[in-house]
Structure 1
Amino acid sequence: MKISIIIPVYNVAQYLRQSLDSVLSQSYNNIEIIIVNDGSTDDSLSICEEYLQKDERILLLNKANGGLSDARNFGLPKATGDYIWFVDSDDWIVANAIEILVANLSKMRCEVLGFSFINYFEDTHKFSDIAYSQSIGVTTGNDYILKSTFFFPSAWSHIYSRAFLEKHQLTFKVNQLHEDDYFNFGCFGRITSIAKIEDGLYYYRRRENSITTLASKENLLKRMNSYVSLLQLFEIINDIDKSFLLKKGNAYKRNLYELLNQYVLLETIPFAEKYSQVKALKPWLKGFKSEGTQFSHSKKNWLIKSSLQLNALLFLITLSLLKPNK
Structure 2
Amino acid sequence: MSNVTIIMPAYNVSDYIETAIKSVLKQTLTDWELIIIDDGSTDDTLPIVQQFIQQDSRIQYVFQENSGQHAARLTGLRLASADFITFLDADDWVSPKWLEIGVRELNDVDMVNVGIEYVYGYEMPKEIQDKKSKILRGSDVLCEWVLERDINGYLCTKFIKKALMMPLLKMSETPKFNYLEDVWTIDRFIDNVNSVAVVEEPLYYYLQRKNSTVHSEMPIEKKKYAYQLVEHLMGRYIGESYLGNCVMYRLRRTYMKMLSSMTISEIHNEKTYLLNILELLKSEDDGFDDMHMFDRLVWKICELKLLTLAMIIRNGLVFLKNGEVTKWLKSHWLVQVVDI
**Normalising TM by the smaller chain, what interval?**
0.7 to 0.9
Equivalenced residues, count: 286
Match of 2:212 among 205, 210, 213: 210
Report if aligned partners of 2:11, 2:40 keep a CA contact under 8 Å in 1. Answer: yes
- SS across alignment from 1:212: coil
Q: CA deviation at 1:147?
A: 9.4
Partners of 1:288 and 1:84 in 2: CA distance: 44
**1:76-225 correspondence runs (5 A):** 76-106=77-107, 108=108, 110-122=109-121, 135-140=133-138, 141-145=141-145, 150-166=150-166, 173=175, 175-215=177-217, 219-225=219-225
Q: Given residue 115 of structure 1, which amino acid in structure 2 is its aligned partner?
A: V
- SS across alignment from 2:214: helix
Report if aligned partners of 2:83, 2:161 keep a CA contact under 8 Å in 1. Answer: yes
More strand by share: 1
**1:222-237 correspondence runs (5 A):** 222-237=222-237
CA 1:174 to 1:53, structure 2 compared with 1: closer, same or farther past 3 Å?
Answer: farther
Q: CA deviation at 1:170?
A: 8.0
Partners of 1:163 and 1:307 in 2: CA distance: 52
Per-residue CA deviation, residues 235-283 of structure 1 (Å, 9 max, x unaligned), is 2345682221211111111122234444426xxxxxxxx58xx9xxx89
Partners of 2:168 and 2:25 in 1: CA distance: 30
Report if aligned partners of 1:119, 1:129 keep a CA contact under 8 Å in 2. Answer: no
Partners of 2:47 and 2:11 in 1: CA distance: 12
Partner of 2:243: 241
CA 1:147 to 1:245, structure 2 compared with 1: closer, same or farther past 3 Å?
Answer: closer
CA 1:10 to 1:25, structure 2 compared with 1: closer, same or farther past 3 Å?
Answer: same
- The more displaced of 172-181 and 51-60 is 172-181
Partners of 1:31 and 1:205 in 2: CA distance: 23
Partner of 2:313: none
Root-mean-square deviation over aligned CA pairs: 3.7
Partners of 2:223 and 2:112 in 1: CA distance: 29
Report if aligned partners of 1:111, 1:192 keep a CA contact under 8 Å in 2. Answer: yes
Q: Given residue 116 of structure 2, which amino acid in structure 1 is its aligned partner?
A: F
CA 1:301 to 1:95, structure 2 compared with 1: closer, same or farther past 3 Å?
Answer: closer
Partners of 1:243 and 1:228 in 2: CA distance: 18
Partner of 2:256: 254
- SS across alignment from 1:210: coil
Q: Given residue 154 of structure 1, which amino acid in structure 2 is its aligned partner?
A: Y
Q: CA deviation at 1:2?
A: 1.4
Partners of 1:308 and 1:148 in 2: CA distance: 35
Partner of 2:293: none
CA 1:307 to 1:42, structure 2 compared with 1: closer, same or farther past 3 Å?
Answer: same
Partners of 1:49 and 1:236 in 2: CA distance: 44
Partners of 1:185 and 1:241 in 2: CA distance: 15
Partners of 2:43 and 2:278 in 1: CA distance: 43
Q: Given residue 189 of structure 1, which amino acid in structure 2 is its aligned partner?
A: D
Report if aligned partners of 1:177, 1:223 keep a CA contact under 8 Å in 2. Answer: no
Per-residue CA deviation, residues 99-147 of structure 1 (Å, 9 max, x unaligned), is 12222233x1x1111121222123x9698999xx983225132255489
Q: CA deviation at 1:306?
A: 4.3
Partners of 2:149 and 2:203 in 1: CA distance: 18
Q: Given residue 40 of structure 1, which amino acid in structure 2 is its aligned partner?
A: S
Report if aligned partners of 2:39, 2:63 keep a CA contact under 8 Å in 1. Answer: yes
Report if aligned partners of 2:94, 2:125 keep a CA contact under 8 Å in 1. Answer: no
CA 1:241 to 1:58, structure 2 compared with 1: closer, same or farther past 3 Å?
Answer: same
Report if aligned partners of 1:170, 1:187 keep a CA contact under 8 Å in 2. Answer: no
- Give unmatched runs, 5+ long, in structure 1: 266-273, 295-299, 310-322
Percentage identity across paired residues of the two chains: 23
TM-score (norm: length of structure 1): 0.73
- The more displaced of 60-69 and 300-309 is 300-309
Per-residue CA deviation, residues 62-113 of structure 1 (Å, 9 max, x unaligned), is 112222222112211111111110111111111122112222233x1x1111
Partners of 1:264 and 1:220 in 2: CA distance: 7
CA 1:174 to 1:162, structure 2 compared with 1: closer, same or farther past 3 Å?
Answer: farther
- SS across alignment from 1:49: helix
Report if aligned partners of 2:147, 2:250 keep a CA contact under 8 Å in 1. Answer: no
Q: Given residue 112 of structure 1, which amino acid in structure 2 is its aligned partner?
A: M
Q: Given residue 119 of structure 2, which amino acid in structure 1 is its aligned partner?
A: Y
